[in-house]
Amino acid sequence: MAVVKKGLGKGLDSMIPEKVESTKSEPIKKEEDVSRETLININEIEPNKGQPRKNFDEDAIQELADSIKQFGIIQPLILQKKDKYYVIVAGERRWRAAKVAGLKKIPAIIKDYSPQEIMEIALIENLQREDLNPIEEALAFQNLIKEFNLKQDEVAERVSKSRVAVTNSMRLLKLDSKVQQMLVDGMISSGHARTLLAIEDSDVQYQVALKVFDEKLSVRETEKLVKTILTTKEDSLKETAITKEDSFIYRDIEEKMKKIIGTKVCIKKKANNNGRIEIEYYSTEELERIIELFESII
C-alpha cells in the first residue's frame, strides 16, 4: 500500500476525502453520493490527457499488477464523470496495473473538479511519489502557469515548493531538446543540466553533455569545464571585435613583419592594448633561421 507523504500539496487533502465509505455497489449517479467509493467498469475509464507523467516503468507496473492480484486495489482511484466515460484525476498507475492484472471493475471515488484542480491533483500526486522526471515536472509547472494564468509563486504555494525550486525546474526547459532527453533518460543529473544552461549555443551544449556522460564528470567538474569554455569564447570574441575594428592597421604591420621575417605573421590584439604575435614556421631549419635573424638584430 502506498504511503502518502504529509506536508506536500496542502491543497490535496481538501480536494480528496481522507476517508470514504467502501461499498460494493454499481456506479452511483445521485448527486449526494458522488463522494462515496464505488466500483467502475475499467473499460469506462480513460487517462487524463493533461497528466504530467508521460513515462511509466513497465516493470513497476507489472509488480503493482502482481500485488493487485494478491491484495486487490487498496486505495481507490479518483475519477470525474465526463459524457459517457470517466477521466482519471488520480491513480493512472493503479488503473494501468489493474488492466494488466485483468480486473473488470475497480474501486473509485467520483468527484467534480475544475480543470485547474484536476491538473493540480495529478501533479501533487506524482510529486508525492517522486514519479516525475525533471522535464515532466517542469512542463507541469509551465502548463499550470500558461493555462490558468498563475504566477510562479502561486504554483509554488499550491504544490508546497519554494518559488526558487519552481523557477529552477522551469529553467530546464531552456535546454536543447537533445540535452533534455538525456536528462529524462538519466544520462545526466539535474545538477549537470542546470550547469549546462550557461552555454547558449545548443550544439555546444549537447556536445558538452555528451562529454559529461562519456567521461562520468561530476557536477563540480562540469562547472569547471563550462567556465573554461565560456572564458575561452569570451576572449576569442574580444580578440575578434578588436581585430575587426583596427584590421587595416594591423594587417599593414603584419605584412611588413612578413617581409622582414620571411614567413606568415599574425597579430592578435586584446583589450587594454595587450596582445600577442604569432610567427609560423614550417620546418626545424626555418625555425633556426628565424632565431638567427632575431639574434642578429639583438
* Calpha distance 29→68 (Å, rounded): 27
CA distances from 114 to 108, 157, 212, 275 (A): 18, 18, 43, 65
Cell of 191: 545538477
Q: Is 36 left (phi over 0), alpha (psi -120 to 50) or beta?
A: beta
CA atoms within 13 Å, Cβ hemisphere of 124 = 28
Query: What's the length of the chain?
Result: 298
Q: Which of 31, 37, 92, 295 is catalytic?
A: 92
* Calpha distance 276→138 (Å, rounded): 47
Tell the burial category of 164 from Cβ atoms under 10 Å away from its Cβ (0-12, 13-18, 19+).
exposed
Cell 467502501 found at: 22
| Contact predicate 187/213, CB 8 Å | yes
| Amino acid at the residue 224 | K
| H-type alpha helices, 72-114 | 92-101
Known catalytic residue: 92? yes
Cell of 169: 525546474
According to DSSP, the residues that pair with 278 across neighbouring strands are: 266
| Contact predicate 183/191, CB 8 Å | no
Active site residues: 92
